[in-house]
Amino acid sequence: MKKIVACSVSSLLVIAGAAQVALADPNNPTDNDKAAARPLAIEGLRLAQAGNCKEAVDKLERGESLVHAPTTSVPLAECYIQLGRLIAGTELLNRVINEATPSSAPASWAESKQQARTVLAAAIPRLGKLRIHVDVPPGTRANPEVTVDGQPIPVVLLDNDRPTDPGQHHVTARQVGLGNAEADVMLAEGQVKPVALRLGTAPGAVAVAPGAASDPYGQSAAGAPPPVAGVPDPYGPGAAPPPSIDSGAPWMAAEFGARLAFGIPLGNVSGGNGDELDHSFSNAVVPLWLDAGFRFASNWYVGGSFSYGISSVSNQAFAGSCQNPGVGCSGSDIRFGVNGQYHVIPDGRFDPWFGLGFGYEWASLTGTLDAAHSNTGAAVTNSSGSSGWEFVNFQGGLDFRLLNGTLGIGPFLTFAVSQYSSKSTPSDNNGGTTGSSISNQALHEWFLFGVRGDYDLKIQ
């Protein structure tokens, strides 16, 4: 008997041990758990990057059940959101944000936690809410059983906002002796929709105007970065933060930019014969070009710009005297204006854009003859310039987005069409000038190209 008991106890211990091994602890994974989870997670990330969230969810869920890591949790949450499962996605993001990060965790986990905050902000405003009210006949104690899509709703949530995924929902209420009532409700993103069900009479529902709602737990964040190529090992010590799935939610930002450009002049200073612009300037380097403005609805930018260009003086300027001994010549081109841009893929890793603008331009030339070569024994300075409206500039470029999409850098092109309407000519030998209008006006152009960088300080 003792032997049988011993065998039974041993068998139970073996069974219990087997059951314990079979149930993996994703927060304390074994090496075997990691080895099994790794291909699932990598395949899930690859599918998510490719936009196949439907299949990615299965792989990522399996990987998460074996090994919990923010580098897989965040893409899984983004896929939930993309598939319309906003409740599941936001709760998973909240878990990532609020859980403690082990001191031994790779740096990518902290970056994923920050990414979770940005993704959460884009999703929270999209959550819908149902406010369910159940009427019973006067004198009857209300004790209804309420379900949404077959899932029981606690009585404490009646007459309160219940976060719910956007989409079609079926709401039912029943109580013994009072029959049942039901309603089909279409809930839009961000909508708060009251639903009234009446028991004891014919079933029905009344939808009332949406109201405001807020999260009592104070969760908040802003905008998700775009997907990138390559799927790193999500559990390795050097793992990169996971690629993000574009939530598609619009965002706003204050945008600041700087450019470095090279310019080629075309056209005429005026309509006079031989008064081509490239007879004054051979080219221009623009080391200072600043932009500042506002991005709204993700795609659109409106702002102002200022540029200062250092121009190379043509051999034909000042009647060719710039080549003489003791003569130094310099030029500059200053412009400011406003412009608008449209960004084609604002949440993409590569964001092509194009735009239009207009402004005002000043171009100036200065020639100086040093005292040693002057007939008077003193240095002689002559200055001249032209100014006028820049009627239009056509812009285009490609931004490569970094730092979760907040920083962009890439090439750009600008073609500006202007016309000088006034000029200044030397009035003395000390750089003085006299202004006058240009009677025979003509169009000229600048073709500029270079590198542009911008930083988006996201507001929403």
Are 118 and 257 in the same domain? no
The pLDDT, as a whole number, for residue 241 is 54
* Residue 428 banded pLDDT, cuts 50, 70, 90: confident
pLDDT in tens, 199-246: 886 444 444 444 444 444 444 433 333 444 456 666 665 555 555 544
Evaluate if residue 328 carries a pLDDT over 70: yes
Residue 305 CB-density burial (10 A; 0-12 exposed, 13-18 middle, 19+ buried): buried
- Percentage of the chain beyond pLDDT 70 is 83
**Which structural domain, as residue segments, surrounds residue 93?**
24-122
Evaluate if residue 15 carries a pLDDT over 80: no
Where a domain ends, among 90, 122, 154?
A: 122
Evaluate if residue 17 carries a pLDDT over 50: no
DSSP SS3 for 224: coil
Q: Which residues pair with 259 in a beta bridge?
A: 289, 452
Where a domain ends, among 76, 96, 122?
A: 122
Residue 400 CB-density burial (10 A; 0-12 exposed, 13-18 middle, 19+ buried): middle
Query: Residue 286: which CATH number?
Result: 2.40.160.20
* Cβ pair 329, 367 in contact under 8 A: yes
The pLDDT, as a whole number, for residue 220 is 40
Evaluate if residue 396 carries a pLDDT over 90: yes
| Tokens of residue 123, six digits | 């999703």
pLDDT in tens, 168-194: 999 999 998 888 899 999 999 889 999
Going from the C-alpha of 379 to that of each of 185, 274, 326, 382, the distances in angstroms are: 86, 29, 10, 10
Where a domain ends, among 77, 103, 122?
A: 122
pLDDT in tens, 212-221: 444 444 444 3
Domain count, the chain: 2
Residue 454 counted as domain residue: yes
Evaluate if residue 418 carries a pLDDT over 90: yes
Mean pLDDT of 152-173: 92
Going from the C-alpha of 314 to that of each of 161, 284, 318, the distances in angstroms are: 73, 11, 9
Are 444 and 300 in the same domain? yes
The pLDDT, as a whole number, for residue 109 is 82
Mean pLDDT of 306-334: 89
Residue 413 counted as domain residue: yes
Residue 282 counted as domain residue: yes
The residue with greater pLDDT, 125 or 16, is 125
Residue 112 counted as domain residue: yes
Residue 137 counted as domain residue: no
| Tokens of residue 432, six digits | 């003085």
Evaluate if residue 14 carries a pLDDT over 70: no
User: Rounded to 5 degrees, what angle do the CA atoms 211, 215, 221 make?
Assistant: 115
Residue 90 counted as domain residue: yes
Are 258 and 407 in the same domain? yes
Residue 168 counted as domain residue: no
Query: Residue 103: which CATH number?
Result: 1.25.40.10
The pTM (predicted TM-score) of the whole model is 0.49
Contacts 24+ apart (CB under 8 A), 205-208: 205/171, 205/181
Mean pLDDT of 411-425: 94
Going from the C-alpha of 374 to that of each of 246, 328, 371, 377, 381, the distances in angstroms are: 68, 13, 5, 5, 11
Helix, strand and coil percent figures for the chain, each rounded to 5: 25, 45, 30
pLDDT in tens, 30-87: 888 888 888 888 888 888 888 899 999 999 999 888 888 888 889 999 999 999 999 9
Residue 367 counted as domain residue: yes
The torsion angle over the Cα atoms of residues 387, 393, 396 and 400, rounded to 10 degrees, is 40
